[in-house]
Structure 1
Amino acid sequence: MTQFAMTIDGKVVTKTETFNVINPSTGGSAGQCPSGTVDDVNAAVAAAKTAYASWSITSDDVRKQACRDMAAVLAAHANELATLLSTEQGKPRGGLGADFELGGCQVWAGNTAELELPVEVIKDDNEGLIEVHRKPLGVVASITPWNWPLMIGIWHIAPAIRAGNTVVIKPSPYTPLSTLRMVEILNTVLPAGVLNVVTGPDDLGPVLTGHADVAKVTFTGSTETGKKVMASAAGTLKRLTLELGGNDAGILLPDVDPRQIAEGLFWSAFINSGQTCACMKRLYVHDSIYEDVCKEFAAFTANIKVGSGADTNSVLGPIQNAAQLAKVEDLISDAVDQGARIILGGKRSTEAGYIHPLTLIADAKDGMRIVDEEQFGPVLPIIRYSNVEDAIKAANASSMGLGASVWSKDIAAAKKLALRMESGSVWINGHGGLNPNAPFGGVKQSGLGTEFGTEGLKEFTSIQTLHA
């Protein structure tokens, strides 16, 4: 079996103590992960701090090339990484699965290379010169989740390094193996100490996020954990980027064609088996088309194979871990008890692992847990409405505000409604599509700060105003 190791200061660090990583497709082992300690966190931060002294003063061209080199080395090792990712995360290789994720890693790293943060001249006349410069922050702590571990890792790593910072990344203990290998590979094109990785139990996270020598924390995960990260960072007033939970609403206006939009609805809700922060979690459908939408959505969804990530016929894979599976099953059971109607799926099969069927729940209502809570799995509640004002009010009632969508043939009308949605991103006739140049982030309890593009790059800098 492959031996996995941490990378600290450019060196391979093995541990005698390890923990088992579960393959969610089988319930068996995906591999043994090194169990890091507080001393390992301290060593990684120290290495990053030392490397920062030189990396922070490298030229813009050197940092750009580093991102290009990261994209190239990820492409060279994409097959290896995608195989490992599929094994520990569960997503199949094909379609919008593991290979798609590795492609996203390459695109984001390459795109980040071309971003610019020019000096902004505020004043330049015979009275004097005022310039605004962007400066790197220092050591960045990256805490990544288990749903898109590599792509989200690159979302954190690439802009941090491009801006002149150094990084210590801690992946989720559910999916640490692919990140360990990715960081090892990336270290072949980066100076020692610029990128380090520590793995271990969840209680190592606060050690990293509260560390006195960490200048910024970037975290992707649940809202509740994000609050804990924020608290741990408060002691030294660290900069924060928090991309947290979402309970995204989609609103279908009465002029849509249910059959025509069924495929779009499917991928909006069920990409990565619904385990995506910005996928659609609630669907509001006008009464006049409600039954037709349910029928066409279920007909399309019924043809999609959910199974083992190792099965080349699988389009979608399992729920990643047992705790999340239990939550999904509990929410479905509660919805049925509250009078909701299952029109597809509902109960898992006797297959090994954490495989759960795609589930559509009709006659769901606001106030049910399946509607009010983020299910983060392959289940979607469909809520009936008669007045679009009521739908918008219900959609905006959530404490979360990551994404939202409006679906209609009348784009102008849809845009007006979309701009009333309380969410960081909003889509028309689609949901969840991300672009490396388009800013992304949540409002309300879906997070703080912005990722992607120039606005996201700025999050890894501080402003220094020069008066001359």
Structure 2
Amino acid sequence: MGLIDVKSYAAGQWISPDESARNFENAVTGDTLGRAGNGSLDVQTMLDHARNVGGPNLRKMTFHDRARLIKALATHLNSQKQALYDLSYATGGTFSDHQIDIDGGIGTMFVFASKGRREMPDSNIYLDGEVEQLSKNGTFLGQHIATSLQGVAVHINAFNFPVWGMLEKLAPTLLAGVPAIVKPATATCYVTELAVRIMLESGLLPEGALQLVSGGLGDMLDRLDCQDVVSFTGSAQTAFKLRSAPHILKNSIRFVAEQDSLNASILGPDAVVGTPEFDLFIKEVQREMTAKAGQKCTAVRRIFAPQTQVEAVIEALSARLAKTVIGDPQAKGTRMGALVSNSQKHDVLEKANIIGTEAERVYGDPENFALNNADANKGAFLPPMLYHCASPDTAERIHDTEAFGPVSTIMGYSDLEHAIRLVNRGQGSLVASVITHDPDVAREAVLGAAAFHGRLYFNNRDSMKESTGHGAPLPHLVHGGPGRAGGGEEMGGVRGVMHYMQRTAIQGSPEILSAISSKWVPGAKETPAPAHPFTRTFHELTIGETIHTAPREITLADIEHFAEFTGDTFYAHMDDAAAKRNPFFPGRVAHGYLLLSFAAGLFVEPNEGPVLANTGLDNLRFMKPVEAGDSIKVRLSVKHKTPRNEDYGEVRWHVTLTNQDDEKVAEYELLTMNAYTS
């Protein structure tokens, strides 16, 4: 095919490369594949378009609306992913590598869509934590909320994941209600451009929600303000240059960095040859060295094994690496493709030479290795290279040099404390793994190493069949790490969304907080229900709608019958003298669950209606014991409503039980599923 002109998408227009464009190559053949970049791109117009068009369009939508948008985009991408697979072979990756990138990115979008619907409200305001009581009588309260930033998110992505790297940032950004300008690495920007085209041509995205810069950003970062976010993935050197720019520092512009790190894997002291853990360790390390030709920010760069196991690990790992067929990623039998470019290949070799000053290469010769249907003189191919460092305590470069390719170094440790000390010398990483069947080893590793790592991955015979692997960041959990890893976090479910929102503390009366949060707060105005609330559909119910029930007396016969019927004959309900010796009770008292059962009997409407199911209760507390002769009554209020699917939504009810003296005896939140129609 002819050369690819990779375009930018700015303010609703596709912009072709100009004379300032940079060429990029086919990683397999070494031939020039295309060009990208436009030095005259109007970055201020792009920013204005995002802020003035994209942002307002997204902020009109609720979190649930945005979650549905993300799901629809993921579904559309999934239907078009073969075209992304086909194009991605030029990056040097195998089909399995493309699945990590493309399927992984689409899967991440689905997770954020699900979390947006299940963990965030059908509103524009996110409630962060519970209401804080700031006054004695509860008339002055506090609440943390989060709202969409009114700027733009600039995403600067790395070359190794042109699809996943974009989508794992884009999903939480859109869910937060913030427009994005995506800037992929030039080496693989052609794959990102296709993914962006697919999303834009779907017609699903609001105008201004997504723009693309293929090539350089120009002075865009110098035009950002306090409502903007920069999210960066790449080298520590580039991250430092960008985040330390005077304009970024002066304006306290949010800068989220996920950068290179020296991730490690520890073979536990219990995982000796012959155990399932030893075999698992070899398999995991080999996979991390060869998947995407080692071009993963989470790949294992340092391997730690008990000193007595080092030789066995080298032998077993070398044997497994020897079975890895390298070559054209489309050729039958190939298991590892090329690096992304010949310049990246040269960089890896330079870094490997530095590692070689402190370690001996025990497997893999970059000057002599077999290739499957490929030319080593043209393509960016390297074999897996395993080094052994015999003196890890005195070594320096082993612990600060990352060869971003199929290169790893094994080191021996004397005991677990020694292993942890060596692992931490990486000065912060995205992930470290520990393969062990000993829970005490896992706990000691957490206490010693967690502060230096964004993720700790433990695996053994119990979890190995379902585990996702050392190198697989999951959208449910944060992806990032301290120190050398950048100090930032990405993904992590709603935590990732919060990077694109502002947390604000609000203070006021219960009525004010209820109006802001769309969630009824005790003490706010109660609206008398026009009919029994269980006869009203999801949409008919209003926040704060309340009924007060008639009282019911609790008798000694009730308590004894409940005890006999349930088998709960705890002494506080059956033995008056024993109960009086308990500092919590005045004598025999009613069961807490008896109170809940009687409360339900007081407020439930028994006939068929919009209430489909009781799905549970939250935050149950018993405040005051109830004796025989006391009575209870119930206040039932609509606290919050959340749509769940096309037919019904969740209603959260605030339930308060009081006694004959209007003292609270119990409080909880009841969850029901209510139909939209009668």
Same fold (TM over 0.5): yes
Q: TM-score, structure 2 length as denominator?
A: 0.65
Alignment check: 8 A CA contact 2:361 2:385 kept: no
Q: Which moved more, 1:335-344 or 1:61-70?
A: 335-344
CA drift of 1:291 comes to 0.9
Q: Deviations over 1:366-414 (max 9, x none)?
A: 3253443111111111112223322211211223322112222323423
Counterpart for residue 471 of structure 2: 432
Which residue, 166, 174, 182 being the options, matches 1:153?
A: 166
C-alpha contact (below 8 Å) 1:10/1:191 kept by paired residues: no
| 1:60 aligned residue (59, 63, 74) | 63
Find the counterpart in structure 1 of residue 221 from structure 2. Answer: 209
1:359 to 340, 363, 385: 385
Kept in 2, the 8 Å contact 1:81–1:181? The answer is: yes
Q: Return the letter of the residue paired with 2:258.
A: E
Distance 1:83 1:365, change over 3 A: farther
Mapping for residues 221-300 of structure 1, pairs under 5 Å: 221-232=234-245, 233-256=248-271, 257=273, 258-300=278-320
Q: Which structure 2 residues correspond to residues 381-396 of structure 1 after superposition, within 5 A?
A: 381-396=409-424
Partner of 2:602: none
The CA distance in 1 between the partners of 2:77 and 2:324, in whole Å, is 30
CA contact (8 A) 2:399 2:426 kept: no
User: Larger radius of gyration, structure 1 or 2?
Assistant: 2
Question: Structure 1 residues 69 and 408 mapped into 2: Cα distance closer, same or farther (>3 Å)?
Answer: same
Residue 92 (str. 1) matches residue 94 (str. 2): yes
Structure 2 partner of 1:467: 507
The answer to whether residue 131 in structure 2 is matched with residue 122 in structure 1 is: yes
Residue 362 of structure 1 aligns to a residue whose secondary structure is strand
| Correspondences of 1:17-28 after superposition (within 5 Å) | 17=19, 18-28=21-31
Q: Is the 8 A contact 2:354 2:401 kept in 1?
A: no
1:220 positional shift: 0.6
Identify which of 462, 480, 483 aligns with 1:444.
483
- Aligned residues of 2:57 and 2:207 also touching (Cα < 8 A): no
Q: Is the 8 A contact 1:22 1:174 kept in 2?
A: yes
Question: Aligned residues, how many?
Answer: 461
Q: Which runs of 5+ in 2 are unaligned?
A: 121-125, 370-374, 460-468, 509-678
Q: Sort the Cα spacing of 1:161 and 1:292 in 2 relative to 1 into closer, same or farther, 3 A.
A: same
Question: C-alpha offsets along residues 178-205 of structure 1, whole Å, 9 cap, x if unaligned?
Answer: 111211221232012110001114xx36
With 281-290 and 139-148 compared, the bigger mean Cα shift is at: 281-290
In 2, are the aligned partners of 1:408 and 1:414 still within 8 Å (CA)?
yes
- The structural deviation recorded for 1:84 is 1.7
Note the 1:178-197 alignment, pairs <5 A. 178-187=191-200, 188=202, 189-197=204-212
Change (3 A) 1:465 1:342: same
What letter is aligned with 1:180? E
Q: Compare 143-152 and 357-366 and name the one that shifted more.
A: 357-366
Counterpart residue number, 1:406: 434
Quick check: 1:123–1:129 contact (8 Å CA) kept in 2? yes
Q: Distance in 2 between matches of 1:389 and 1:360?
A: 24
1:136 matches 2:148: yes
Change (3 A) 1:393 1:53: same
Is the 1:348–1:356 Cα contact (8 Å) retained in structure 2?
no
Q: Judging changes above 3 Å, is the alpha-carbon distance between structure 1 residues 191 and 252 closer, same or farther for their aligned structure 2 residues?
A: same
SS in 2 for 1:420: helix
* 2:232 equivalent among 215, 219, 234: 219
Offset of 1:330 from its aligned partner?
A: 2.5
- Show the counterpart of 1:372: 400
| Correspondent of 2:13 among 6, 11, 25 | 11
- Counterpart residue number, 1:174: 187
Out of 320-329 and 160-169, give the one that drifted further. 320-329
1:220 touches 1:244 (CA, 8 Å); kept in 2?
yes
Deviations 1:147-191 (A, max 9, x none): 112101111111111100001111111111111121122123201
Aligned CA distance change for structure 1 residues 317 and 280 (closer, same or farther; 3 Å): same
Distance in 2, matches of 1:101 and 1:339, equals 32
Change (3 A) 1:335 1:227: closer
CA gap of 1:337–1:373, structure 2 versus 1, over 3 A, is closer
Question: Which shows bigger deviation, 390-399 or 68-77?
Answer: 390-399
Number of the residue aligned with 2:453: 423
In the alignment, the residues of structure 2 paired with residue 195 and residue 365 of structure 1 have an alpha-carbon distance, to the nearest angstrom, of 50
Does 2:361 match 1:331? no
Q: Secondary structure at the match of 2:316?
A: helix
CA shift for structure 1 position 324: 2.6
Distance in 1 of aligned mates of 2:354 and 2:5: 43
Q: Shift of residue 259 of structure 1?
A: 3.7
Match of 2:494 among 439, 454, 462: 454
| CA distance in 1: counterparts of 2:332 and 2:436, whole angstroms | 35
Percentage identity across paired residues of the two chains: 24
CA distance in 1, matches of 2:25, 2:397: 28
Letter in 2 for 1:197: L
Are the equivalent residues in 2 in contact too, given 1:92–1:312 (CA < 8 A)? no
**Does structure 1 retain, via aligned residues, the 8 Å contact 2:66–2:175?**
yes
Q: Does the CA contact (< 8 Å) of 1:348 and 1:355 recur in 2?
A: no
Measured after TM superposition, the shift of residue 126 of structure 1 is 4.1
The two structures, once aligned, show a CA RMSD in angstroms of 2.2
TM-score w.r.t. structure 1 length? 0.92
Q: What amino acid is aligned across from residue 36 of structure 1 in structure 2? A: N
Aligned residue among 83, 97, 118 for 2:86: 83
- Greater relative CO, 1 or 2 (CA 8 Å, sep 6+): 1
Matched, 1:199 2:214: yes
Give the Cα separation in 1 of the matches to 2:446 and 2:33.
Answer: 43
Look up the equivalent residue of 2:43 and give its one-letter code: V
* Structure 1 residue 337 displacement after superposition: 4.8
Quote how far apart the aligned CAs of 1:129 are.
4.0
Alignment match, 1:40:
42
For structure 1, which runs of at least 5 residues remain unmatched after alignment? none
Give the match's secondary structure for 2:186: coil
Contact 2:28 2:328 in 1 (8 A): yes
Task: Answer yes or no: is the 8 Å Cα contact 1:278–1:432 preserved in 2.
Answer: yes
Measure, in 2, the Cα distance between the counterparts of 1:254 and 1:277.
Answer: 27
Correspondence for 2:112: 112
